[in-house]
Each structure stands twice: as C-alpha cells, then as structure tokens.
Amino acid sequence: MRIAVVGSYGVGMTMRLPRVPTAGETLPGGEFSSGHGGKGSNQAVAAARLGAEVAFLTAVGDDSMGTDARELWRAEGIDASAVVTIPQTSTMVGMILVEPSGENRIVIAPGALDHLTAEHVDTFRPHLAAADLVVVSLEIPLVTAVAALRCAHETGTPTLLNPAPAQPVPDHVWPLVDVVTPNRSEAAILLGHAPDSDEPAEALATELHAKGVGSVVVTLGSDGALLLDDTGTRRLPAVAPRAVVDTTGAGDAFTAGLAVELARGESLDAAAKFAARVGAHTVSIAEVIPALPHRRDLDPDPAPAAP
C-alpha cells in the first residue's frame, strides 16, 4: 500500500495533571514529557507501522526540533524528501494537558506550518499521483490542504480528509473528498453549525454526503462510529480498549488504520473495523508515538456477538 500524507509535524509537550487548574491558579503535581507530534506526522508513522509505504509533506523550522523530526521519519522508513524547512522559523509546538481520566486539551503554536503553501504541494504531485490513497488533515493552512485534495483528485488518487482541527470548509471542496473522518463536533463545525449542536450524527453525515463527499465516517468515541456512503447508513460498535490511559493520538491512529485498509482495497466497513482496533490499542498507552501500534501489537479482531 502506498499512502501520501499532507499534514503537520510538531513537538507535543505533555503535562499530566491531577486536574485542570482554574484561572490564576498555580497547580503542583504535574508530570512533564515531550515528544514527536502533529496530526500528519502521527498518521504517517502509524500508517508506516501498519505496513504502508508512506511519503510525507509538511514544514518544519530550522531548529533542533526539525532535525529531530527528520530522524524520526528516517527511523520509521517514511519518505520525507519533500519536507520543507522554513528558515528563521520555529517548528510547530503543541501543549497538551492530560487529566487522570485520559481526556486531553491541546493548544498549538503553528510556526513553520503557516508557511506550507500550495506551491509546495505542486512539488509533491509525483508522490500524490503514485499513491493508492492521499491523507490530508487541517493543522496546515486550509488553502494548502485544499490544494493537496485538488491535486490528488486531478491525478486520480482517492482522498481521505481528517478534518481536525475542524473549521468550515467551502462547498466546492467537498467533491474532492472521497472519505471524511470527523467526530460529531467536527462534523458540525465543518457544516458551519455550533460544535455543541444537538443535531444527530446521522443528520450531519447525510448533509456532508449530500455536499459531494463519497463516504462519511463519524467517530463517536465509546459509541463506536457511524458510516454513510451510497449503500446507506450503519453503526459500527466500539472496540473496548484494555484501559483508557491517554486519548491524544486516538483520532490519528484511527485515521491511519482506515487509510491503510482502504489503500489495500478493503471495504469501508472492514477498514473502519480495523481502524477501531488500532484506536483502541492507542488509547491504552501513554503519549502518542509509543502508543501507535504495529500490526503484531493489535488484539485479535473480536468475534461478532451471537444472535
């Protein structure tokens, strides 16, 4: 399977807290760690560990974090030859606050990612054309993400949009998207609704599909996922993790698992079931890169319940 990823790289600085402090409060008892992050890079690493040949386009700064990123991609066997280094600019940094429940809050300083342009996508066109699937996320400028979707569409390569962080997307973009993977609040934001809108996932997925998206996969956490395509709508049950330790990389792991199986030619349903197993494994281990599994790490596919 050949997958091209257009997205972000950044350093995740994680603070594990007994609770989130209130305004003006200094809270002791935190545990700090830092490591590789960025949705695009996480998805690239996860896809490579799951057996895909991966080419990656992003932008990093001319700093030690950018150097460390290239070492990560080399070690994971990812083709990062098209990655852009932006002079006199810092690599993206994300600050992640993790509560004992595993829930997280993230703040991002984009840095070099703000300088990733549609012109850089043009240089990546041969990789997009050679891929079985192109994965794009929205931690990069929207115009750059759209350029990647359009370029892949022009070369005949199927596209998967992981719309995070979510933002309203112009209607003319949706026919360029073969698969979109929002959670419920992201689906609402994509359509210009409030993130806490009470519209059911089915209605949001139907609206996205009507705008031209081929397939919609709405992730619903412990409630599983909703799948909608030309064959209809169905629910996919969740895969119970061994434990919930850290949910930070779960969405990226799910997206990578889905992408790899679709690139293999699996059906949407089979790909989503595999992706749920990848996501369930990821939340059971602290931090992102250590949690992203190889195929050998996954629990067996659970047997269907007896009728």
CATH of residue 160 = 3.40.1190.20
Edge-to-edge strand list for the sheet holding 179-180: 53-57, 2-6, 133-137, 159-162, 179-180, 215-219, 225-229, 232-236
- Tell me if 306 is assigned to some domain: no
What is d(CA 254, CA 75) in angstroms, rounded to the nearest whole number? 22
Tokens representing residue 17 in the block: 């807290």
At 302 the pLDDT is 60
Q: What is the pLDDT along the chain (307 residues), one digit of tens a residue?
A: 999 999 999 998 889 999 989 999 999 999 998 899 999 999 999 999 999 999 999 999 999 999 999 999 999 999 999 999 999 999 999 888 988 988 888 888 999 999 999 999 999 999 999 999 999 999 999 999 999 999 999 999 999 999 998 999 999 999 999 999 999 999 999 999 999 888 999 999 999 999 999 999 999 988 999 999 999 999 999 998 988 888 888 999 999 999 999 999 999 999 999 999 999 999 999 888 999 999 999 977 765 444 4
- Tell me if 299 is assigned to some domain: no
At 273 the pLDDT is 96
Q: Total structural domains in the chain? A: 1
- Tell me if 23 is assigned to some domain: no
CA 90 to chain centre: 22
φ, ψ of residue 240 to 5 degrees: the values are -70, 125
Domain that includes residue 267, residue range? 2-18+33-290
At 52 the pLDDT is 98
- Tell me if 304 is assigned to some domain: no
Cite the active site residues.
252
Cβ atoms of 3 and 54 closer than 8 Å: yes
- Tell me if 305 is assigned to some domain: no
- Tell me if 225 is assigned to some domain: yes
What is d(CA 60, CA 124) in angstroms, rounded to the nearest whole number? 16
At 275 the pLDDT is 97
- Tell me if 303 is assigned to some domain: no
- Tell me if 300 is assigned to some domain: no
- CA proximity to 245, closest of 295, 294, 280, 277: 280
At 286 the pLDDT is 82
